[in-house]
Amino acid sequence: MSNWRDEKAKVNALALARLGKRLPDAFPQAVLVRARSCSWAPSTLRVAIDGYWRTHPLRADRLARALAARSGAPEGWRWQVGDPDAGLPSTFRTPPAPYREAAFAKGPGVCCVCGQPVYRFGWHADLWDAGPNRNATWHSACVTAWQFWNAPSAQAKLLRKLQGRRCRETNRRLLKTSEVDHQVPLFQVWKQHRDAPWPELLGYWGLPNLQVINREVHVEKCAVEAGSRRKVRVVSAELETTS
């Protein structure tokens, strides 16, 4: 019976050999370092890049927001919700992405999240002087960032470590039941910051607006937020009846 460790080493050696044969003259060294240290070596260069960003979601978040700031919002765009078939988010909880909307999409070769050109292997810089990849519409980093923005709880372990395993609200030790929270609630972003510049809006879904707090603190915070929303609705209703 063959030893599984020997089989694994053989598979990894073959995968790394394939990577070496396909390796261009220019390639991100950080990606190679990560690929060579993987428990299972990636089989292609694109898989190696995707794996790198999945391992570093906070870097992907920062990069995606920086690329969006470089692009800026297209002229005439305004954050709104509506028909998903037109590329509009169905809820304000989805990050605004003008270049995903049919009216402002730039087409193949440009990332639909940040609006910047997509190059070989889904990279964000043209290390190969080959121009944009006309078969791609996402940066590999922006894929990871988009997943992070929509499901930050998936990175709760990483965020806990970043906070020193301390509750951001009470400074007490984080419990196993601690939860990821948006410091500025997304409903408040929609109500009060809707007209902020688009790249700035993305920060409300990214790391600058995320925190990990203990569950009982989160429940209390949500109750306070719900109470404030209820008061606003009551006041609005009273104003309508008196006008």
HSE, CB side, 13 Å, CA atoms: give it for residue 96.
27
Q: Are residues 106 and 84 in the same domain?
A: yes
Q: Are residues 104 and 192 in the same domain?
A: no
* Residue at a domain's end among 145, 161, 192: 145
Pairing mode, strands 179-182 and 210-213: antiparallel
Q: Are residues 14 and 134 in the same domain?
A: yes
* Residue at a domain's end among 145, 162, 196: 145
- pLDDT score for 1: 44
Q: Are residues 96 and 208 in the same domain?
A: no
The tally of domains found in the chain comes to: 2
* Residue at a domain's end among 145, 176, 191: 145
With a CB cutoff of 8 Å and minimum separation 6, the contacts of 177 are: 214, 215
Would you call 140 helix, strand, or coil by DSSP? helix
Q: Tell me the C-alpha distance between 112 and 139, whole Å.
A: 9
Q: Are residues 166 and 131 in the same domain?
A: no
Q: Are residues 32 and 130 in the same domain?
A: yes
At 13, list the tokens.
């050696």
141, 183 Cβ separation under 8 angstroms = no
Q: Tell me the C-alpha distance between 48 and 43, whole Å.
A: 8
Where in the sequence is the domain holding 80, given as residue range(s)? 4-145
Q: Are residues 134 and 167 in the same domain?
A: no
Q: Are residues 19 and 50 in the same domain?
A: yes
Tens-digit pLDDT string for the chain (243 aa): 468 888 888 898 999 898 888 899 999 999 999 999 998 999 899 999 999 999 999 999 999 999 999 999 999 999 999 888 877 889 999 999 999 999 999 999 999 999 999 999 999 999 999 999 999 999 999 999 999 999 999 999 999 999 999 999 999 999 999 999 999 999 999 999 999 999 999 999 999 999 999 999 999 999 999 888 777 677 666 666 776
0.75 surpassed by pTM: yes
